[in-house]
Each structure stands twice: as C-alpha cells, then as structure tokens.
C-alpha cells in the first residue's frame, strides 16, 4: 500500500525517521516536502491508542492533575501568561479551548469575565472539568459539539492537531465556529526544530504513536493560510514545553530509560506505574546530570528560538479572514 500525505495525497516514498520503537509496534515518519507535514506510518489505530492513552503519558489522576505540585503551579503560571497574550488581540468575549484537559486555562479566562466552553476528547477529563469548575465541556466528533457557526471570538487549539487523523478537517471546524476577525491560537511541536533534528527518534515531543502528524513551522503557516487564516504572530519560545523538550531529549540521547525524568515529575499516584523498573544507578546519574543539562537546555531553547528562528514547539496567533 502506498503511503500518502494526508494533506495533499501525494505518494510518500522515503522515511524521514525510521523504526521508532514503542510498546505497540515500530513506526516510521514520512515527510511531505510540499506540505511541510509528516505522518506516522503505519497510522496508529484509535483502538490501540485508546488503551495507550488511559495508561501512558496522557493519563491523569483523579482531579485531572498529572504532575507534582511544583510543576502544576508552573503550569498555572503559564496559563496566566497565555491569557495575557490572547488579550493583546481580543479583550473579552467567548472562548473555546479544543483539547482543554481539566479546564484550567478556561477557568483562568472565566475568572477574567469570558464566556468559556471546552472540547475534550477524553470523556473522563471532560467530566472532570465540568465537575471541578462547572465549565461546559463537550466531547466526541465536531458534529456533536452543538455550537452555532461563528459563535466564538477566540479558539485555542494547543497540542491537538498532531494527535488527529485529519488535522485539516479540525481547522475547517475552527473556521466555521470562529467569527470573522476572530483569533485562532494554535500550538504544535516543530519537527524542523534543532531539538527535533538532534533527537530524531529520541526527541521528547515526537511522541509517537500519540502524534499521528508532525508539523514544520512553514507547513502549519501554509495549512492555516489555505484554511482562510492570516498568521499574525509566531511564538517560538514556550517556557512550558521547549526547555523541557531539550532536557528530556538530552537524557534520552544519553541512553537512559526513555522519558525517565518526565515520569519522575508526575504525581505520586501516577509515578509508580509510569516508571516501571528503573535502576538506582540511572536515578542517581539523572540527578547528577540535571545541574549540567538544565541550563544547557534553557540556553539551547533560547538559541533555537531567537537565533535559528525555530521552536521545539511553536504557537501561532492567526485571524480568521
């Protein structure tokens, strides 16, 4: 069977990254040079992923928290920063967060006077957000969300497109639900970043098999333009994702158990099952290398964002035309 680009349907011949090992099977990534978008081959099946989502990286504990309290506080600060950035473009109104998780970002907006709604693909997390903050969170396919056309002033869709089989359909839906002149905020990992190129299969944000699609910055700009959005601004320095992307990639490249540090940062409830068998030696070396790798990761993130003009993850602010 021919592998095809899911954006332009061109046949894809040479794998860009080969034999990425996962608990399910090995995957390759094929890039479409015309679109600047890659696809995980074979395309991970939803039935495999569902089981994986409930036990793997994206699992959260009761109340929706995934990490230890210090990391959770840092995530809260980054939501406040996100609010400030949105308000540069739109002062108030209706906001939809697609992939809202437990609804923390929406709660921050609601307290600021916004009318908020969320979409969460995990029914469990959707229920958690509804219970915790009383936010209207829907799940399932877009046809079932029930929002009227041109209803929202802002739609945020952060780290979602790469998880979808049909990211371009989701952008069509965003366009339909946004009013003319409304703001789309869209974040994805950038497979053309230095951390991606250096890490290859070991890159933290590659995250196969969860990530079905792999965007480059120029590829996402082109896709957004094609869908009737005009990109106003691109942020390539994301403190929540980019330095950690480097940090975990450096550890992965040294040959430690993959994503060990990430799993160590999880909360107590999730840590045990996520870590599995880890040797004491690996733990000690991880702690010893941190004072070296942490500042290095921060410096590399700044270098790639401001000198190379690439981000390990990128956030685009675009207006619906």
DSSP one-letter code for 62? T
Beta bridge partners of residue 185, listed in sequence order: 156, 317
**Taking CB under 5 A as the rule, does residue 32 contact Zn ion?**
yes
Judged by CB under 5 A, the stretch of 32-40, 220-228, 278-286, 300-308 that binds Zn ion is 32-40
Smallest distance, Zn ion to C-beta of residue 149, A: 28
**Taking CB under 5 A as the rule, does residue 8 contact Zn ion?**
yes
**Taking CB under 5 A as the rule, does residue 119 contact Zn ion?**
no
**Nearer to Zn ion among residue 5 and residue 177 (C-beta):** 5
**Nearer to Zn ion among residue 34 and residue 50 (C-beta):** 34
Smallest distance, Zn ion to C-beta of residue 190, A: 17
**Taking CB under 5 A as the rule, does residue 183 contact Zn ion?**
no
Angstrom distance (rounded) from CA 275 to CA 114? 39
**Nearer to Zn ion among residue 15 and residue 56 (C-beta):** 15
Query: What sections of the chain are H helices per DSSP?
Result: 46-53, 69-87, 104-111, 123-133, 167-177, 194-199, 217-226, 242-253, 260-264, 268-275, 280-302
**Taking CB under 5 A as the rule, does residue 223 contact Zn ion?**
no
Judged by CB under 5 A, the stretch of 26-34, 111-119, 139-147, 302-310 that binds Zn ion is 26-34
Three-state SS for 94? strand
Among 29, 31, 35, 250, binds Zn ion (CB under 5 A): 35
**HSE, side-chain direction, 13 A CA sphere, residue 72:** 14
Angstrom distance (rounded) from CA 44 to CA 156? 25
**Nearer to Zn ion among residue 222 and residue 235 (C-beta):** 222
Angstrom distance (rounded) from CA 132 to CA 107? 10
Three-state SS for 254? coil
**Taking CB under 5 A as the rule, does residue 117 contact Zn ion?**
no
**Taking CB under 5 A as the rule, does residue 129 contact Zn ion?**
no
Smallest distance, Zn ion to C-beta of residue 45, A: 22
Give me the long-range contacts of 81-84 (CB less than 8 A, separation at least 24): 82/108, 82/156, 82/185, 83/108, 83/109, 83/112
**Taking CB under 5 A as the rule, does residue 220 contact Zn ion?**
no
Judged by CB under 5 A, the stretch of 28-36, 147-155, 171-179, 249-257 that binds Zn ion is 28-36
**Taking CB under 5 A as the rule, does residue 11 contact Zn ion?**
no
> What residue ranges bind Zn ion (CB under 5 A)?
5, 7-8, 10, 32, 34-35
């Amino acid at each position: 069977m021919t592998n095809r680009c899911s954006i332009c349907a061109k046949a894809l011949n040479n794998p860009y990254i080969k034999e990425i090992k996962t608990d399910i099977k090995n995957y390759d990534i094929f890039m479409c040079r015309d679109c600047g978008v890659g696809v995980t081959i074979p395309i991970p099946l939803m039935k495999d992923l569902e089981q994986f989502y409930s036990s793997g990286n994206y699992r959260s504990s009761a109340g929706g928290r995934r990490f230890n309290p210090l990391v959770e506080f840092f995530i809260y600060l980054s939501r406040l920063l996100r609010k400030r950035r949105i308000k540069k473009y739109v002062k108030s109104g209706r906001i939809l967060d697609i992939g809202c998780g437990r609804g923390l970002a929406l709660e921050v907006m609601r307290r600021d006077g916004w009318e908020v709604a969320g979409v969460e693909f995990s029914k469990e997390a959707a229920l958690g957000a509804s219970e915790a903050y009383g936010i209207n969170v829907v799940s399932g396919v877009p046809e079932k969300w029930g929002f009227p056309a041109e209803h929202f002033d802002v739609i945020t869709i952060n780290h979602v497109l790469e998880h979808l089989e049909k990211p371009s359909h989701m952008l069509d839906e965003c366009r339909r639900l946004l009013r003319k002149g409304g703001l789309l905020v869209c974040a994805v990992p950038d497979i053309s970043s230095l951390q991606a190129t250096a890490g290859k299969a070991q890159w933290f944000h590659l995250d196969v098999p969860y990530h079905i699609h792999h965007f480059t910055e120029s590829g996402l700009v082109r896709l957004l333009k094609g869908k009737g959005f005009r990109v106003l601004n691109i942020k390539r320095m994301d403190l929540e994702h980019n330095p950690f992307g480097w940090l975990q990639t450096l550890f992965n490249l040294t040959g430690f158990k993959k994503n060990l540090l990430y799993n160590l940062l999880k909360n107590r409830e999730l840590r045990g099952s996520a870590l599995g068998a880890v040797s004491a030696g690996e733990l000690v070396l991880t702690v010893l290398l941190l004072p070296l790798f942490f500042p290095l990761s921060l410096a590399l993130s700044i270098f790639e964002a401001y000198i190379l003009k690439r981000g390990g993850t990128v956030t685009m602010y675009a207006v619906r035309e």
